[in-house]
Chains A and B, each alone.
Chain A
């Protein structure tokens, strides 16, 4: 089994990194190895999807793990699909790392853990019993936690690590209990047994709730997202790319595995809940992103948004399935998985781009960048493609998946229940807002970072990054275009993955090339290929027209700017000023955003200062609130440490008497 050897390889690389990380060459070697292995795994996944289709490779049992259970591994089409979605970006990140890996603050804290991180993620995908699944799951959190702590001298990174690991373990506990319920008191922890397990309705609901909590906390679903914007940016960029673009997908995989494979029938209410949570995540996530000045934090928040979109689609799938609309259910699953692939692609592309920017300028703050497009053309173009894709602009891939999600969302009211009928439009509003905000957010990100005039010397002195990094960004950019232009192939591919989950395959006729018309021929269709072709045609026409009707003369001149002509780069619109209108409208409500302008008295030469305060209500309310409670209790309990021996004896005495009373009462 190829994937097995790949896993072994990752492990060996990790050990090699632990041993030989003192040599500079080792780092490059390890990243190269990761590249090869990840590429192999991608190939294996693709091959499996094409060759086997639905039927799974029989489970492999290895003699470790729980003694009476052993470790089960299995590769079915779902795992194979996620193998591709995980390992392709992983390969890119490794390629990026070959050049970037030695530029992180302390490479020795990063390189050995990188392959282990990949190992853990792949382990989750091929696990076929709860123990292996959770061990890999935890290993994933653990390795990424250490990666977040790789620049451990930064207090913010340490705080991020703490929040991250605690949240991760919270999620693990939720999954643990869910699996416990599925396995039953006898402890049948292998998935095969869980599929046939009989559960009471209450238990089923508990499993679903715990699964949503557990995987949601990993995927960054609001309100469990608080760790994500802290942790993802703290890691080195090629790791952030994996955490944001890939690890969240592993969480999605866990959810699908639990709710669609292990639990066949789930009530539509849960679908509705997921939909609403997803909508909240989508809208809030991108709003947060709009307010950020730190490029990587911005990207992390936009991950929250995209996870929200995926959750919307998954929730719809559940609701449809519960109401017997299997075709629509399949459609929304396809939409969800399509978005999984897309987000994995462009989010890793964007994070790698931010890494390139950091390497070139050492800056993450948008307001200290600017004008990079001229100095870093390739990075700029790739980043632009990524920005367009994530803003769902045709003909790129982001649009296709969002189009599919919208299509299935517009069919939501076919589920004849008032909650769905009135809920779906609201969710629609949220998602539409999210889409529009995303465009604004990335106009802001790209425009401020790459266009205009440089806002700092670092930005002024930026140089293009070495070729492996460029290649690592160019490849996904190309794929963003391909997946956007030939969507039908992708959807047919995904349909085979979805079929065993919803027991219906999208009819091929409806998906006939090149028209992507999922529901029915009349219900609305999209043909990226034709759009692109006619667009190209119109472009040529335009060029010819302009060429023949007009001159081609061009003069370079100082910027006009209505004659103002100030040259200070800081007179440009900054990131904060760009988001000011939206901040005025939404920020003050959602984030209690406060702006303070202090003007120097007339005549003084002191500069005027503008300071912006943004608070995350969920963070201050939920998390800090929890912390306060724990502190209060800890203070109370702490008194126990400072008693006299007599008091301690008293405690013993009371315990004894209490227990004796219990016995006395029981024996009467």
Chain B
């Protein structure tokens, strides 16, 4: 087996591995859509973050781009551990309901999710592999994760689940970022997003958002929505 073959083989292996990890992340997004219990949602999210860390690490190894290890570390420590911890604390501290209020039933949500995945696959089909810094599959996976995150944000009434949706959306972004061959600034981007997330959590805590973050207070919702009617 010549070295060239090895590289090719390694290339195949690396791609397959990346796809595998991406698929796992996507599965977890579906899981998030499916889950009805808050704690489980949080746990699933932390798993997703950890798998993302794994994906980043793998990319760092394959592209031998050491800076990606940093974003892997961020994903692992901040998103995989700190954030879930904070969320659990919030849930306890604010006494948030443990069950997930859905605006759209689980079933329809799943169907919509599948539709989104199909859409993203359709979208990346015309992309010729050679012309992109990333395989179609990875791209499709990342895009699906992003769209599913958005879907979760709009089908969940519960504040924490919405934040989780936002964060899984962001996981999709990081997945795309680390997957892109030789993309600079990935670390900075993950840091920037961590700031956003932190602010979101801080906001939930600071504004005492118990149920839903589309209003600060149920009673207040009626009287004020931007302007007195």
Contacts and interface: CB of A to CB of B under 8 A. Distances in A.
Complex contact flag A–B (Cβ < 8 Å):
yes
B226 interface: yes
A645 interface: yes
Contact of B119 (A641, A660, A668): A660
B229 A656 contact: no
Given A641-B225, A646-B157, A660-B119, A653 B151 contact: yes
A534 to B, nearest CB: 77
A634 to B, nearest CB: 13
A643 B103 contact: no
Contacts of A645: 213-215
B154 A643 contact: no
Interface in A629-668: 641-647, 649-650, 652-653, 656-657, 660-661, 663-664, 667-668
A433 B151 CA distance: 71
Interface string B138-163: 00000000010011011001000010
Given A644-B214, A660-B119, A653 B154 contact: yes
Contacts of B147: 656-657
Contacts of B226: 641-642
B40 interface: no
A641 B123 contact: no
User: Most chain-A Cβ atoms within 10 A of its Cβ — which of B126, B154, B162?
Assistant: B154
A664 B154 contact: no
A664 B227 contact: no
Contacts of B227: 641
Interface string A577-597: 000000000000000000000
Given A657-B119, A664-B119, A664-B122, A644 B150 contact: no
A642 B150 contact: no
Nearest to B213: A645
Contacts of B103: 646
Interface string B154-193: 1001000010000000000000000000000000000000
A642 B229 contact: yes
B126 A667 contact: yes
Nearest to B115: A657
B212 interface: yes
Nearest to B103: A646
B11 to A, nearest CB: 27
A643 B224 CA distance: 11
Contact of A667 (B123, B212, B221, B225): B123
Nearest to B151: A653
Interface string B187-229: 0000000000000000000000000111100000100011101
B215 A644 contact: yes
Contacts of A667: 123, 125-126
Interface in A69-85: none
Contacts of B126: 667-668
Nearest to A640: B226
A650 B112 CA distance: 13
A642 B221 CA distance: 10
Contacts of A664: 119, 122-123
A279 to B, nearest CB: 49
A649 B212 CA distance: 14
A58 B26 CA distance: 75
Nearest to B127: A667
Contacts of A643: 225
A641 B116 CA distance: 28
Contacts of B154: 646, 649-650, 653
Contacts of B116: 657
Contacts of B151: 653
Nearest to B224: A642
Given A641-B225, A646-B103, A661 B119 contact: yes
A653 B162 CA distance: 14
Contacts of B150: 649, 652-653, 656
A647 B153 CA distance: 10
A377 B128 CA distance: 95
B61 to A, nearest CB: 33
A646 B154 CA distance: 5
Nearest to A643: B225
Contacts of A641: 225-227
Nearest to B226: A641
Contacts of A652: 150
Contacts of B221: 644
Interface in B82-128: 103, 116, 119, 122-123, 125-126
A645 B214 CA distance: 5
A660 B157 CA distance: 26
A665 to B, nearest CB: 9
B123 A660 contact: yes
A344 B205 CA distance: 74
Contacts of B213: 645
A644 B151 CA distance: 16
A668 B121 CA distance: 12
Contacts of A663: 123
A642 B227 CA distance: 8
A661 B118 CA distance: 11
A274 B16 CA distance: 76
Interface in A513-547: none
User: Most chain-B Cβ atoms within 10 A of its Cβ — which of A644, A646, A656, A660?
Assistant: A646
B225 A642 contact: yes
B120 to A, nearest CB: 8
A646 B209 CA distance: 14
A196 to B, nearest CB: 48
Contacts of A650: 154
Contact of A646 (B122, B214, B225): B214
A662 to B, nearest CB: 11
Nearest to A656: B150
A644 B150 CA distance: 16
A650 B162 CA distance: 12
A646 B215 CA distance: 10
User: Most chain-B Cβ atoms within 10 A of its Cβ — which of A647, A652, A661, A664?
Assistant: A664
Contacts of A649: 150, 153-154
Contacts of A653: 150-151, 154
A37 B153 CA distance: 70
A154 to B, nearest CB: 30
A667 B154 CA distance: 28
B17 to A, nearest CB: 28
A492 to B, nearest CB: 67
Closest 9 CB pairs of A and B: A644-B214, A645-B214, A642-B225, A650-B154, A646-B214, A667-B126, A664-B122, A649-B154, A653-B150
Interface of A: 641-647, 649-650, 652-653, 656-657, 660-661, 663-664, 667-668
27 contacts: A641-B225, A642-B229, A643-B225, A644-B212, A644-B214, A644-B215, A644-B221, A645-B214, A645-B215, A646-B153, A646-B162, A647-B214, A649-B153, A649-B154, A650-B154, A652-B150, A653-B151, A656-B147, A656-B150, A657-B147, A660-B119, A660-B123, A664-B119, A664-B123, A667-B123, A667-B126, A668-B126
